[in-house]
Every structure is written in C-alpha cells, then in structure tokens.
C-alpha cells in the first residue's frame, strides 16, 4: 500500500509557493463567458473514480479529467486500488481527458528541474505505450509548486492545476490554476459554495477529488455527493468541460468539445 505523504508545510515551503505565484505566469486570455464553466477532475485516478466517477459524468452527457501517475497503475493505496492501464484506455475511449500527474506522483515543489523533466518523460512514454495522445494538461501532486517546476511545466502543458481555492477568470495564471476539492466532511458544501460564486461571476470553476465510493477516504467523496453537484451545476446553467477544453478557451481559442468514441 502506498504511504500517505504530506507536502512541505514549513515556512520555507509556504514562502516558495507564494513566490511561485509571481513568476513564470501564463495569464488566461478569454473574454466574457456566455455561461459559467465547470471541470470535474480526479487526482491519482483510483479505480473507484474511473468507474463510479466516470459513470456519473457520462450519465449526464459530460466528461471529466483524470490526472494519471502511470507508475502507480494497478497498485493499492489509502485511496483504494489505482486504475489499471486497461481502465485508463477505456476512459480515453469514452471521451474523458487523460492528463499528466507525473509518473511517480513526484512532489514538484521539492524536486529539481531535471528530476521533474525525467518524471514527466516517463509518464509521457507510458501514455504512448498505452496508445494515448500526448497529455495537454497537468496537476501538481500534493498541490506543491515551485519556480523551477513552473519553468519546466509551462512550455509543456496548456495549463497546470494547483490546489488553492479560487475561480479561473481573465488574467488567472494558467500555469498555476486554482481548484476546489470535493473532499472531507464539508467537501460537498464547499464545492456548492464555489458553484454559486462561479455562477455569480460567470467564471470557470475546477473541482477535484480522488476516490469516489460509499466510504471514501479523507481525500474522496461519495457517488451521491458527486452526482448532486453535477446535477446542481447543470441546473444552474454550467457547461461541463474537461480541463483541456477549458484551457483551450482560456488561451483565447474556440472551445472544441471532445467527442466520445
């Protein structure tokens, strides 16, 4: 079973993350949105997310983004079993986005630029072996960011997702976008509060979770909570997009919805 790991919470770690917000930025260039956008993403992609999470999105004609660390495939953890390569290929075939989360779930805040590059290359090669397209977007494992990480990730990905709360609006840094977790006892309520804010501002909201099961970990949610959030978002007029679709729009390009195979 994979050990539970915590990112650097020291004063230096907090200072590094604040500094990272100021440099190697890529401002979002989209103009006023006709309707708010929602992205539902799954970090580490446990099998429960690939099965229950994907099924709920598909039930409502939507697709999500699965941030994959290919080196974890098939192993067990506190989040439950991780997705297998067959499950990842099935997600892609169904129209979901398969995105990068490093190969080994590397803490990019503490790693060197060379270590990050090597880990990204390993994940890219694993994706090629699975017959997947090159990943267009990224999520920082543990949400930990550093200037050296952004310098490596910026040229490789259209957008990279962090974990600080917020909405993506014109000028937001696409190399370190905010996101809101559906996790913990108050996860559903927190996500609902941010849906209301995104509706009020006609902004892009990214939600994330990990496992999706009846008795989730502290970093996951129940299938019922996820479905209630999706139904509420649709009732509020949100358009549900993958992280790649949203980043394409935020880069000033026309939105091109991914078609399910």
pLDDT given at position 20 = 76
pTM beyond 0.85: the answer is: yes
CA distances (Å), 253 to each of 29, 159, 167, 172, 249, in order? 9, 13, 19, 16, 5
Going from N- to C-terminal start, the domains of the chain cover 11-250
Q: Which residue has the higher pLDDT, 19 or 173?
A: 173
pLDDT at 261: 43
User: Helix axis angle, 223-235 relative to 187-201, nearest 10°?
Assistant: 20
Which CATH fold would you assign to the domain 11-250?
TIM Barrel (3.20.20)
Q: How far is CA 86 from CA 50, 70, 89, 215, in A?
A: 11, 12, 5, 25
From 53-57, 97-101, 144-148, the region with the lowest mean pLDDT: 144-148
- Return the percent helix, strand and coil in the chain, to nearest 5: 40, 15, 45
Taking a C-beta distance cutoff of 8 angstroms, is the pair 222, 185 a contact?
A: no
What is the Cα 177 distance to its own chain's centre? Answer: 10
> Can you give the pLDDT at residue 7?
64
Q: How far is CA 243 from CA 65, 78, 177, 201, 216, in A?
A: 6, 26, 11, 19, 24
């Amino acid at each position: 079973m994979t050990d539970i790991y915590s990112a650097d919470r020291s004063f230096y770690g907090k200072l590094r993350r604040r500094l990272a917000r100021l440099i190697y930025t890529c401002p979002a260039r989209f103009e006023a949105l006709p309707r708010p956008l929602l992205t539902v993403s799954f970090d580490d992609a446990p099998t429960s997310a690939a099965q229950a999470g994907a099924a709920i999105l598909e039930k409502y004609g939507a697709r999500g983004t699965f941030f994959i660390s290919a080196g974890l495939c098939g192993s067990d953890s506190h989040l439950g079993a991780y997705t297998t390569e067959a499950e990842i290929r099935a997600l892609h075939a169904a129209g979901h986005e398969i995105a990068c989360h490093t190969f080994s779930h590397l803490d990019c805040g503490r790693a060197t630029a060379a270590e990050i590059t090597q880990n990204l290359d390993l994940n890219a090669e694993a994706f090629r072996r699975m017959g997947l397209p090159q990943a267009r977007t990224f999520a920082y494992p543990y949400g930990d960011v550093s200037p050296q990480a952004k310098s490596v990730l910026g040229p490789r990905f259209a957008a990279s997702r962090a974990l600080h709360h917020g909405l993506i609006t014109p000028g937001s840094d696409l190399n370190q976008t905010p996101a809101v977790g559906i996790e913990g006892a108050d996860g559903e309520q927190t996500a609902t509060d941010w849906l209301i804010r995104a509706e009020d501002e006609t902004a892009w909201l990214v939600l994330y979770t990990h496992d999706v099961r009846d008795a989730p970990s502290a970093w996951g949610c129940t299938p019922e909570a996820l479905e209630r959030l999706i139904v509420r978002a649709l009732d509020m007029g949100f358009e549900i997009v993958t992280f790649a679709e949203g980043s394409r729009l935020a880069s000033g390009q026309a939105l091109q919805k991914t078609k399910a195979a």
